[in-house]
Structure 1
């Protein structure tokens, strides 16, 4: 008998669409943008900081929805491995587009899609282990506890442990292990050590998807979200919230926000669903990879000539400033217009079914 594909979870598609649009907005902003739309300089949390971990949290939920109910021998491991490899390869290719050339030392192997690929593969494995919430929850908590111990107790290069940028074990591993370009010089925001707790963000998504599949799922999600946020805030007594290190407090707080947001969307979905603007976010959520690639290619175009002066990006911003806008509002308007352009470019591809599917 042919196995039917699981039905779409439209509230989840909506949440993914909102998250992806915020991701694009943040990536098109410049330092003059409002602080809440920029990543925290180091410790701290802004709206920009919660976008990526919520996406990984959604990856975990999606893995549970897609693969739960299959026996381990029924898992499509070939398709799973292929999808992970292609996501990773697309991420590397997009990094090359930002810095085209044949100097392989300038090729960045880490990145957003690469981390998504790793978390997706890890979530597929954890889903296959069992059907309950205990295993993904327990493993996720064990990972962030171990990660916290390593950050706080293990030094590098004959120095004591440190949470300063590039100074601790996390930065040392980034300088030692991956080939190619390190984005921040001495550390990478999608580096080696921080990839481990990013898996925990996905595992918590798996756990909560399973726990909330029981009766009263919305209330369970909301309760779990509040509990995770409070636990994460309490954890800041031990270790601060930090996106670049992907600390335990960061995982817990952002997963809690993701769970609360998912609960809110599910509760409001009967009211949201009929509206055209809600359907727009659903459409984006169902074509997340395609619109992400579109925005990265647009960024590469706007940065021409690479490394040079008078880039198209700078010229357009200067034009907005010349209209009388402040640097902050020029940055925001530029980013909003760029996101709208990405959505317009996605629309004909979506109508023709020409979406990237891996």
Structure 2
């Protein structure tokens, strides 16, 4: 029996609460006196600290602020880390609630709280952090935001967890992929989300559009500017389907008016710092764009589903080594997939040229190859490669913290 106690994780209190909770690997909740996963709490605290760091220092060090468009800077890891943590928490918290009605009430109430605070904090009610002035013009109110995205992901994934609880067994078989088979409904939802996102992103025709400049400091204030598109499947700032869906559903006045793309080279001479928009900058540099919009928030559900999978590992795999092996291998696969999608797509071009010393009808064929990212890392679009890289990073960070916690000897 002594050997079994050594092998058992102190986080097993999440599954079988006991009176002795002196373990250094878990701690009690002040509200409900319930055991908590210490490594997850540490990860949450580090993510909050990272958020504060990039918010306060991002302006001075743009290399850690959000990437203006394609790319992935330090700030771009904050949102997917939070969604990953939400997913792990869903698996652990809903395990304790056997009544589906009670679970749905809890999920619905928490979703409403997230939506309320999201609209209050990011909807435009507070005019500035350092001004005690409040109020909002409902015709310009921002509907989307960080908490709204978390609310959507939490609601969808939590409901899947609640209503599919009876479709899997408590004790899984010993097969390598048994946990994927047991929670197949989660992966069906994930695949559906991915298909909807990719089909809309690459299949939607984006027509020309126009907007009114609301920046009072601009010489173009009040003027109507147009943006030429008329394309399908483009992922550039002005003509992507993510922005088009938001303009059609939310309305352009209800979108974020200070998008990160204004720090790009196309928009300002101060790039990568934020600066005045160039006089010859394209019109879309002054346009609004919603970084937490509808289509990108649907894609973000995948980050939470990956987090739920990691929570299921805690519930069903008993040994530290088995958990870490699964987590680390999953994280490395996600990282490799995301980086591959970002870096390794090439398109071949054929160029025809003639040697003047030979006949005019004697042509040579020169084959050139242009490489570009078919699915670039892009937080604004919440691209699939971005999901893979950030979720893989979250998996490795969480695994590292878990290792540190279990290696720490109990007091």
RMSD between superposed Cα atoms in Å? 2.4
Equivalence for 1:118? 152
Match for residue 190 of structure 2 among 140, 148, 155: 140
* Alpha-carbon separation, structure 2, partners of 1:129 and 1:252: 26
What residue number does 2:366 align with?
A: none
Partner of 1:97: 126
Q: Name the SS of the counterpart of 2:205 in structure 1.
A: coil
Point out the more displaced range, 76-85 or 205-214: 205-214
In structure 2, the partner of 1:17 is 45
In the alignment, the residues of structure 1 paired with residue 156 and residue 312 of structure 2 have an alpha-carbon distance, to the nearest angstrom, of 16
- The residue number in structure 2 matching 1:163 is 235
Alignment match, 1:57: 84
Deviation digits for residues 260-302 of structure 1 (CA, Å, limit 9, x no counterpart): 1111100111456989xxxxxxxxxxxxxxxxxxxxxxxxxxx
Distance 2:62 2:409 in 1: 31
Corresponding residue for residue 218 of structure 1: 324
Whether contact under 8 Å (2:87, 2:157) holds in the other structure is yes
- Name the residue aligned to 1:227: 333
Question: In the comparison of the two structures, how many residue pairs are matched?
Answer: 272
Which structure ranks higher in relative contact order (CA pairs < 8 Å, sequence separation ≥ 6)? 1
Corresponding position of 2:20: none
Report SS of the residue matched to 1:8. strand
Partner of 1:78: 105
Deviation at 1:150, TM superposition (A): 2.3
CA distance in 1, matches of 2:327, 2:293: 30
> 1:224 touches 1:259 (CA, 8 Å); kept in 2?
yes
- Over 3 Å counting, the alpha-carbon distance change for 1:98 and 1:21 in structure 2 is farther
In structure 2, what is the Cα distance between the partners aligned to 1:148 and 1:86?
30
Alpha-carbon contact 2:87-2:306 (below 8 Å) kept: yes
1:140 is displaced (CA, Å) by 1.9
Larger Rg computed on CA atoms:
2
Could you tell me how far 1:191 is from its partner in structure 2? 0.6
2:222 corresponds to = none
User: Are 1:152 and 2:202 an aligned pair?
Assistant: yes
1:181 is aligned to 2:254: yes
CA–CA distance in 2 between the matches of 1:266 and 1:98?
41
- TM-score, normalized by length of structure 1? 0.70
Cα separation, 2, equivalents of 1:211 and 1:141:
20
Q: Which runs of 5+ in 2 are unaligned?
A: 1-15, 18-31, 129-133, 166-181, 208-229, 260-286, 346-373
The range that moved more, 259-268 or 235-244, is 235-244
> Which segment is superposed worse, 104-113 or 145-154?
145-154
Higher strand proportion, which one?
2
- Residue 7 of structure 1 and its aligned partner are, at CA, apart by 2.2
Distance, in Å, in 1 between the alignment partners of 2:140 and 2:93 is 37
**Contact persistence 1:145–1:248 (CA under 8 A):** no
- In 2: Cα distance, 1:231 partner to 1:142 partner: 19
